[in-house]
């Protein structure tokens, strides 16, 4: 979409620390988040610190048609709680109270006067097999949306993070593709990303060392695993690294880099182009993800674990692709109204797609795995392990309780490590 177009008005539900908002910025989509919703007070504090807007704490499952229509939003961004669809949450699906908010929004959709043209949703793997997803897809189908679904991992975009997530993009169309009952089969879900991206090999991924904090002011000791936990077979840190025979957690900054949140440039940003096999360029657009000083270390970990399903590298690619579809559809509509300019409109649509199809967070380099570190798969397990911790977390999303992290301000670094080692 061109810079002169009116920005797409977006509502961000279950906003957390703003992962979907960041992805819009990285993708350079011409959009504006007019309101965000979340009841987690600590997450809202971080959101306000970075975006200068405090999300509404109104419980999502109590929103009315009038509440939503007043924003005249053309796009919904949703990152609902994942616990109803995880083993850690006992996969209660629609019977889980934490699914109530999403189900409420699905029920509200056909009642709205301002039905959104675009919907973007992300969740944990297993959501694709849920009754919640079945209800969502059926409702979208009845309302005339064209739907695309994906199961993707950051490794497909050049980040050593194997954490697979579910993504849905939907665009309302006056002439949607014909669908059948088979439209909700998991076999229809795409597992490869082929738009402006070649398949990557494990060896193409940058080593974990390129995501680590460096410098004399980096205090590694505070992230070391307490010795009493290092010999436990149940040990599950948010991220682990063997370096000089030291077992330590990844810092909050390192975890955020592995989820492609924007921040200051670091060593991966300065590698030579000939080493860049995976095309990942760490995003540096502002605002950066920063935490207020009064948000404790353990709260930062918990927020990153609970809301790091917002993998900005993937989400920005999908949003960019959806934006290109919107631009092409707009050109097609113009050509339909003016038959004499059909050829010109078609050319513009084609060129628009090719020029803007790759706007997102990019992705990156250095395929060699450091000998000081564990294998590539262990390096990337930092976020897989975060996922298992996430599954047992009750802090994600607006429909859950206010989040226990708000009471942890005085936790010490060692308490942080202990808690993370025993999620």
The pTM of this model reads 0.73
233 has pLDDT over 50: no
411 has pLDDT over 60: no
From residue 1, alpha-carbon distances to 57, 322, 323, 350 in Å are 32, 10, 7, 12
Q: How many CB atoms lie within 10 A of CB 189?
A: 17
What are the catalytic residues? 82
What is the per-residue pLDDT across 357-384, written as a single tens digit (0 to 9) for each? 333 333 333 333 333 333 333 333 333 3
Rounded Cα–Cα distance for residues 3 and 143 (Å): 30
420 has pLDDT over 90: no
57 has pLDDT over 90: yes
pLDDT at 183: 44
Query: 169 forms bridges with which residues in the sheet?
Result: 120, 148
Query: 52 forms bridges with which residues in the sheet?
Result: none
Between β-strands 8-13 and 75-78, what pairing exists: parallel, antiparallel or unpaired? parallel
Helix (H, G, I), strand (E, B) or coil at 256: helix
41 has pLDDT over 50: yes
Q: How many CB atoms lie within 10 A of CB 78?
A: 23
Kindly compute the dihedral angle of the four CA atoms of residues 338, 342, 347, 353, in this order, to the nearest 10 degrees. 60
**Maximal CA-CA distance, the chain:** 76
pLDDT at 43: 97
148 has pLDDT over 60: yes
351 has pLDDT over 50: no
Higher pLDDT, 211 or 275: 211
DSSP state of 341: G
Query: Which H/E stretch holds residue 243?
Result: strand 240-243
The CA angle 23-28-34, to the nearest 5 degrees, is 65
* pLDDT-above-70 percentage for the chain: 61
Task: Say which residues have a Cβ less than 8 Å from residue 184's Cβ, sequence separation at least 6.
Answer: 133, 134, 137, 138
What is the per-residue pLDDT across 3-25, written as a single tens digit (0 to 9) for each? 448 999 999 999 999 999 999 99
Q: Could you tell me the pLDDT band of residue 417, with boundaries at 50, 70 and 90?
A: very low
> Directed axis angle between helix 342-356 and helix 312-337, to 10°?
170
95-101's contacts with Cβ under 8 Å and 24+ in sequence apart are: 97/399, 98/397, 98/399, 98/400, 99/132, 99/399, 100/61, 100/399, 101/13, 101/14, 101/59, 101/60, 101/61, 101/397, 101/398, 101/399
The two tokens of residue 398 are: 């607006």
Higher pLDDT, 177 or 376: 177
The two tokens of residue 341 are: 């300019």
Are the C-beta atoms of residues 75 and 8 closer than 8 Å to each other?
A: yes
Q: Considering only CA atoms, which of 405, 392, 395 is closest in space to residue 86?
A: 392
What average pLDDT does range 345-357 have in this prediction? 37
| All structural domains of the chain | 8-191+315-356 (3.40.50.150), 202-311+361-421 (no CATH)
What average pLDDT does range 129-151 have in this prediction? 95
Rounded Cα–Cα distance for residues 285 and 18 (Å): 14
DSSP state of 48: H
Are the C-beta atoms of residues 391 and 277 closer than 8 Å to each other?
A: no
Q: Considering only CA atoms, which of 50, 25, 33 is closest in space to residue 312?
A: 25
> Directed axis angle between helix 100-108 and helix 131-142, to 10°?
10
The CA angle 84-313-395, to the nearest 5 degrees, is 30
Higher pLDDT, 213 or 107: 107
Helix (H, G, I), strand (E, B) or coil at 173: coil
């Amino acid at each position: 979409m061109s810079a002169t177009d009116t920005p797409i008005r977006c509502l961000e539900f279950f906003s957390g620390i703003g992962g979907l908002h960041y992805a819009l910025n990285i993708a350079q989509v011409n959009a504006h988040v007019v309101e965000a919703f979340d009841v987690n007070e600590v997450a809202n504090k971080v959101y306000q610190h970075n975006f200068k807007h405090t999300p509404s704490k109104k419980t999502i499952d109590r929103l009315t048609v009038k509440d939503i229509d007043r924003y005249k939003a053309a796009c919904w961004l949703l990152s609902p709680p994942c616990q109803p669809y995880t083993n850690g949450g006992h996969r209660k699906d629609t019977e889980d109270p934490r699914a109530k908010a999403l189900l409420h929004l699905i029920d509200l959709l056909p009642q709205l006067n301002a039905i959104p043209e675009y919907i973007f949703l992300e969740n944990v793997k297993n959501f694709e097999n849920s009754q919640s997803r079945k209800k969502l897809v059926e409702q979208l189908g009845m309302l005339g949306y064209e739907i695309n679904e994906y199961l993707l991992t950051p490794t497909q975009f050049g980040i050593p993070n194997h954490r697979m997530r579910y993504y849905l993009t939907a665009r309302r169309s006056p002439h949607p593709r014909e669908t059948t009952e088979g439209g909700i089969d998991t076999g229809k879900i795409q597992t490869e990303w082929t738009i402006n991206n070649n398949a990557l090999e494990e060896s193409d991924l940058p080593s974990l060392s390129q995501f680590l904090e460096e410098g004399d002011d980096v205090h590694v000791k505070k992230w070391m695993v307490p010795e009493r936990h290092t010999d436990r077979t149940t040990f599950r840190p948010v991220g682990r690294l063997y370096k000089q025979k030291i077992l330590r957690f990844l810092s909050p900054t390192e975890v955020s880099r592995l989820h492609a949140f924007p921040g200051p440039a670091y060593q991966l940003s300065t590698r030579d182009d000939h080493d860049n096999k995976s095309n990942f360029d760490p995003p540096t657009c502002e605002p950066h993800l920063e935490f207020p000083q009064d948000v404790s270390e353990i709260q930062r970990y918990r927020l990153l674990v609970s809301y790091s399903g917002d993998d900005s590298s993937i989400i920005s690619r999908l949003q960019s692709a959806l934006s290109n579809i919107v631009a092409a559809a707009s050109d097609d509509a113009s050509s339909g109204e003016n038959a004499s300019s059909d050829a010109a409109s078609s050319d513009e649509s084609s060129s628009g797609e090719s020029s803007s199809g790759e706007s997102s967070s990019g992705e990156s380099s250095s395929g060699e795995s450091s000998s000081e570190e564990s294998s590539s798969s262990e390096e990337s397990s930092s976020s897989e392990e975060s996922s298992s911790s996430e599954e047992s977390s009750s802090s994600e999303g607006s429909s859950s309780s206010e989040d226990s992290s708000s009471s942890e301000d005085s936790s010490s670094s060692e308490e942080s490590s202990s808690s993370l080692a025993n999620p």
